Amino acid sequence: MTRQNGEPSWTEKERLAALQRTGLLDTPPEQAYDDLVRLAAELIDVPMAAIHLIAEDRQWGKAEIGLGTRDIPRDIAFCPHAMLEPDGLVVPDATQDVRFAHNPLVTGTPGIRFYAGMPLFSEGLPVGALCVIDTVPHESALSEKQRLVLKALAAQASSQISLRRTLAERDALAAERDRAAALHRQTLNSAVDFAIISTDLAGRITGWNTGATRILGWTESEMLGQPADLFFTPEDQAFCQPDIEMRQTARQDRALNERWHQRKDGSRFWASGQMMALRDEQGGHIGYLKILRDCTEQHLAAEALEAIDERFRLSQRATRDAIWDWDLRANQVLWNAALQEAYGWTPEQVLPTGDWWIDTIHPEDRARIDQSIHAVIDGAGSDWSDEYRFRRADGSYAVVLDRGHVIRDCQGRAVRMIGAMLDMTQMRNAEAALRASEERFRTILATVEAAFAIVEVKFDADDKPVDYRFVEANDAFERQAGVDLRGKWVTEYAPNLERFWFETYGHVAKTREPLSFESYAETFKRWFDVRAVPVGDPADRQIAIIFSDVTERRAAEERLRASEALARENIERVQLAHAAGAILGTWHWHLPTDCFTVDEGFAHAFGLDSALGRKGLPLEQVVANVHPDDKPGLANAIKEAVARGGAYAHQYRVRRADGQYYWIEANGRVEHAPDGTPLNFPGVLLDVEERRAVEAERDRVTAELRALTDTLEQRVAERTAELQHAEEQLRQAQKMEAVGQLTGGLAHDFNNLLTGIVGSIELLSMRVEQGRIKDLDRYVLAAMGAAKRASSLTHRLLAFSRRQTLDPKPTDVNRLVLGMEELIRRTMGPSIALEVVAAGGLWATLVDPNQLENALLNLSINARDAMPDGGRLTIETTNMWIDPRVAKAREMEPGQYVTISVTDTGTGMPPEVVARAFDPFFTTKPLGEGTGLGLSMIYGFARQSGGQAQIYSEVGLGTTVRLYLPRHIGEAEAAEDLPNLSQAPRAEMGQTVLVVDDEPTIRLLVMEVLEDLGYAAVEAVDGASGLDILRSDAWIDLLVTDVGLPGGMNGRQLADAARVIRPELKVLFITGYAENAVIGNGQLEPGMHVLTKPFALEALAIRIKDLIRRE
């Protein structure tokens, strides 16, 4: 479609004219095009697809899915580019393509990232494109299979467009035919063109015009009085068709009829006519009038047109089909241009005969096809289809699906056959490749060592996983699991299987999140390394499991750890022996040659010739002097060490030159080659005779002491009780000392804060008295800032004591951490680099966000202080599964957790400091620089939130503090800003609040706020007076009370007594801390709410309004 200079061989005017002739522009949606677009989106696995036609100044969508618009300006559209590319246009990532990176369709709605389009043609000219679109980039272009699919669908769409144009031409031809028919009817107004016949009620002919003579052949004299059924065919006569027409006319006054009739000479013609009832002047029915017109030519033309219609229908079903038209009487076959396009046959090479067609069929298929097609032609059928190999012009063969339709004449003889031949070669090759791929996949699954299975997870009515069934499994699965579970539910084999497996697989099936883990299956007594990924339709709840039995590996690791421990012990013993002069000698055993060389000390210890020892001896000769009772144990120890490799230690007796046996210890290490072959076994020989004697003496003394201890059991118990009492007194003394340290530090801190508060208020008062009201807000802000810092200090104390009342909310930890990033960065200073690693898809957690912010800031400040010379601070969030074994070791519940890790590259801590890091008042900072409450507060907050806190640290490398917070199922709450007090919600008419607080200042503030907001406020100074008001007839919507009240009744007791009188009463506690006896484990009971002092007045107003509205 392009000239040699790269320019198109057509003009834009020609292309637009071809588009106009398609008749598609601005037409309503059509199912065929919508189906193609939907199929394209599904096969390429994208959310958007469209068929676009390119007009002069716009791109118009004939069909689309996912885009939501049909008209797009041509200058920003993608498809005009694809239309000019014969092999289509593929854009893996539009943001990286200079042609489209700034396109509003990329930067705005719909946010195109991936695009692939194939041109659409009509009359050989490009008129548009079929495209698929995604809002995420594709790492690579279309696969070859996807390209072929998209190209085939584009060809189908082009065929639909061509078919539309052809149908339009056909409709024009039909209109022309109708106009000709109208003219013909006008001409037939003369009697010679119509057979006009009248009959009586019995059907005997009473009138016959010249047109009837000309059309039917009988003269009037011959037909008068004769029955009218003479010119009906024998079939219609046998069917009583004339009588049926007369009865229909009698009922309806008119009967139209088109059918074959016969002339006097027996020939047939297609007559179009009608029969009408003849009535007299009074309306009485006296006979019939039949008008016939010879329409044989029109009827045959209509049949031909129907054949053309059938050809079009076939072409619609066959994309890029080679369409053929076979005249069976002349044995002539006509082919369309697709024969050359698809199979290479030029018109000059093709003989227009049926014989040429049969000759191009593969010899092995020829007889079968010839027989099947003639079975339809010679029989009564009309449709034929078969698959065979068709020879291309180059001699190769294509696999084709051929379909045809037989057209018969009025005698039922086959006169014509029209069909379409579809090239199935690529599809069949793809199917063969798929079968080969599946076979390779099955072979791989059958031969790999990793076990593979697909399981279907079963959920109960509450959507909890309760079982899973093995749909598929490879042979390695049976080998590693030790049982064939194909098609079975796991509970059939393992009814006591740990709940962990159901929860884990159920989580993957529900969330579609892959998981990797190692866990022990008690039922199978094996360790497994597992990878679980979702597969198939989410509704099927199926997952693929790839796992390996790592029991041996874990055992090997354990043996390796034991071997390394033994090696360390060997080194220590050798060093001690060397220091004590107890080393007897050394050896080197070359295992492949069984050459055992020893030094002079070893030879002397074993009574060997030192010269032979240097030359080399076999092991059997070396151990000849070992005590007979010790030889089996020595042989087993050597065999085991050679097999596993690593450290070796064994004690046994050997005979000296004087014939006496003495104890020695052999320490060595077996070295293996990379392939596991044992190579060398060097070692050292130690004299342990004296040590064995000491151990024997120790055992004797231990036995005697044990006997003595049995008699002193009572005295030991008494002494233990005394020691425990003394220890308790010591702990109390330490606690009092720590409290003294704390109060000294807190007094200093609170004095500083109170100085700021009092000083700011005094300055504020003085300025007001002097009338200097400018810049008063800075004193107000200074006082509020100091008050908030005092509040923060009390919150830290409450968290340390675990008596702080938490306000847990569903929290997005990523959002919280990212919101604090700039604050932490400023706090760290320029010498410390901050990195925040936020995990994708992080779960929500139920936690007090304010306390979590405090904890995170405290940890960051601790990390900063540990890096005086600068470094890196990393804050990372992750999702984590904790299985029962790990949970038990970490003193927490098993399940799903959100973790926040704060890691520094600072000085680190030794183990003894790590062990005490969470202890209250413990600090490594100089006197006056730390209270020792920071980490203990964080630990208390984590435990109170249902989680855990852990520290990992190494001296010189840095420290990581990790918080574990339980996962919350649900969405996190969005952060909300408190309005100003002037914007706080106003009270409704008649709403009354009872305020109970023994502190006049607080009571005054609360009453002022309530009255400013329109509430009726009633006050009481203690629980007794408050209860008197509640016992009265006064209307009370809400009780606001302090927890600690004088007079023997605290706030909780007041609330309980009030609930007896007024069961639906809402209660708001305002307190400096929430006592465990009142609130219970820091958690609020239903119907009771807490606001912690100090609080913002805006927060008080919102909380009161919210509680009254709930009522």
Q: How much is the pLDDT for 775?
A: 67
The residue to which tokens 């050989």 are assigned: 124
Of the candidate CATH numbers 3.30.590.20, 3.40.50.300, 3.40.50.2300, 3.40.1280.10, the domain formed by 981-1110 belongs to: 3.40.50.2300
The pLDDT of residue 929 is: 47
Residue pLDDT, tens place only, 924-958: 655 444 444 567 778 888 888 889 999 988 888 89
Secondary structure class of 878 (helix, strand, coil): strand
Nearest in space to 96 (alpha carbons), one of 45, 134, 143, 137? 137
Q: Which pLDDT band holds residue 10 (cuts at 50, 70, 90)?
A: confident
Q: Which two tokens stand for residue 807?
A: 């306000």
Average confidence (pLDDT) over 1053-1059: 87
**Can you tell me the mean pLDDT for 912-933?**
63
Task: Name which CATH class applies to 574-696.
Answer: alpha beta
Rounded to an integer, the average pLDDT of 217-226 is 90
pLDDT, residue 188, reads 40
**Mean pLDDT along residues 348-362:** 91
At 58, phi and psi to the nearest 5?
-155, 160
What is the per-residue pLDDT for 707? 62
Of 768, 738, 1062, 1061, nearest in space to 931 by CA: 738
- pLDDT band for position 1093 (50/70/90)? confident
Domain 188-294 shares a fold with domain 981-1110: no
Residue type at 939? Y
The predicted structure's pLDDT at residue 730: 46
Flag whether pLDDT at 361 surpasses 90. yes
In order, the DSSP letters of 216-249 are H---HHHHTTSBGGGGB-HHHHHTTHHHHHHHHH
In this structure, are strands 114-122 and 542-549 parallel, antiparallel, or unpaired? unpaired
Query: In the predicted model, what is the mean pLDDT of residues 244-264?
Result: 88
Total Cβ atoms within 10 A of residue 316:
19
At residue 862, the 3 state secondary structure works out as helix
* Residue 734 pLDDT level (bands cut at 50, 70, 90): very low
Contacts of 800 (CB under 8 A, 6+ apart): 920, 933, 936, 937, 940
Q: Using alpha carbons only, what angle is made at residue 1078 by residues 1075 and 1084, rounded to the nearest 5 degrees?
A: 100
For the residues 726-741, what does the mean pLDDT come to?
48
Mean pLDDT along residues 1100-1105: 81
Q: Domain 448-549 classified CATH 3.30.450.20?
A: yes
Tell me the chain's radius of gyration from C-alpha atoms: 50
Q: Among 604, 600, 664, 589, which residue's Cα sits nearest to residue 634?
A: 664
Mean pLDDT of 716-743: 52
pLDDT in tens, 474-495: 877 777 777 777 888 988 888 8
Tell me the pLDDT tens digit for each residue of 327-336. Answer: 998 899 988 8
What integer pLDDT is reported at residue 121 of this predicted model? 92
Q: Provide the pLDDT for residue 573.
A: 47
Which pLDDT belongs to residue 187?
A: 47
Give percent above pLDDT 70 in the chain. Answer: 80
- CB–CB of 268/262 below 8 Å? yes
Whole-number pLDDT of residue 912: 86
Q: What is the pLDDT of residues 1021-1047, one digit of tens each?
A: 998 899 898 888 888 889 999 888 888
pLDDT given at position 690: 73
C-beta separation of 881 from 517 below 8 A: yes
Question: What is the DSSP annotation of 433-484?
Answer: HHHHHHHHHHHHHHH-SSEEEEEEEEE-TTS-EEEEEEEEE-HHHHHHHSS-
Lowest-confidence segment of 99-103, 564-568, 785-789, 885-889 by average pLDDT: 564-568
> 812 versus 707: which is more confidently predicted?
812
Chain Cα centroid distance, residue 885:
28
Q: Which of 19-23, 316-320, 546-550, 721-725 has the highest mean pLDDT?
A: 19-23
Segment 512-539 shows an average pLDDT of 84
Q: What confidence score (pLDDT) does residue 1075 get? A: 45
Among 33-47, 397-411, 653-667, 862-876, whose mean pLDDT is lowest? 653-667
Reported as a single tens digit per residue, the pLDDT across 979-989 is 455 555 566 66
Q: Where are the domains of the chain?
A: 12-169, 188-294, 300-429, 448-549, 574-696, 715-781, 802-968, 981-1110
**Reduced to 3 states, what is the DSSP secondary structure of residue 644?**
helix
Give pLDDT tens digits for 812-869. Answer: 999 999 888 887 887 788 889 999 998 888 999 999 888 898 889 889 988 998 898 8
User: What does the alpha-carbon distance between residue 64 and residue 588 come to, in Å, rounded to a whole number?
Assistant: 81
The pLDDT confidence band at residue 800, using thresholds 50, 70 and 90, is very low
Q: How confident is the model at residue 314 (pLDDT cuts 50, 70, 90)?
A: low
**In whole angstroms, what is the distance from residue 790 CA to residue 787 CA?**
5
Evaluated on CA atoms 316, 317, 320, 322, the torsion sign reads negative
Which range, 610-619, 778-787, 938-947, 1089-1098, is most confident?
938-947
Q: Which whole number is the average pLDDT over 316-341? A: 81
The per-residue pLDDT for 558 is 73
Does the predicted TM-score (pTM) go above 0.75? no
- Using the predicted structure, report yes or no on whether residue 59 has a pLDDT greater than 90: yes
Residues 6 or more apart from 555 whose CB is under 8 A from it?
A: none
Read off the tokens for 885. Answer: 């074994």
Q: Which fold has domain 802-968?
A: Heat Shock Protein 90 (3.30.565)
Q: What one-character-per-residue DSSP string does 682-735 give?
A: EEEEEE-HHHHHHHHHHHHHHHHHHHHHHHTHHHHHHHHHHHHHHHHHHHHHHH
End-to-end CA distance of the chain: 78
397-408 sheet: strands from edge to edge: 332-335, 322-327, 414-423, 397-408, 383-391
Query: Which residue, among 446, 689, 697, has the nearest Cα to 582 in the 3D structure?
Result: 689
The stretch 731-750 carries a mean pLDDT of: 48
Instruction: Give the residue from 531, 540, 515 showing the smallest Cα distance to 456.
Output: 540
Class of domain 12-169: alpha beta
Q: How confident is the model at residue 249 (pLDDT cuts 50, 70, 90)?
A: confident
- Average pLDDT on 494-512 reads 88
Task: Decide which of 1043 and 803 is more confident.
Answer: 1043
User: If you search the block for the tokens 């907050």, which residue do you land on?
Assistant: 941
Give residue-wise pLDDT tens across range 1070-1081: 876 544 445 554
pLDDT level of residue 577 (50, 70, 90 thresholds): very low
Q: What is the percent of the chain where pLDDT is above 90? A: 22
466, 837, 970 from 462: Cα distances, Å: 10, 35, 16
Average the pLDDT over 87-102 and give the result.
91
Banded pLDDT at 507 (limits 50, 70, 90): very high
Closest-CA residue to 276 (of 299, 300, 252): 252
* Nearest CA-CA partner of 900 in 974, 825, 824, 817: 817
Contact at 8 Å (CB) between 909 and 959?
yes
Average pLDDT for the chain? 81
Q: Which of 698-707, 1008-1017, 1101-1110 has the highest mean pLDDT?
A: 1008-1017
In the CATH scheme, what is the code of domain 188-294?
3.30.450.20
Task: Classify 296 as helix, strand or coil.
Answer: helix
- For 300-429, CATH number? 3.30.450.20
Looking at residue 493, what is its pLDDT? Answer: 81
**What number is the average pLDDT over the span 669-678?**
86
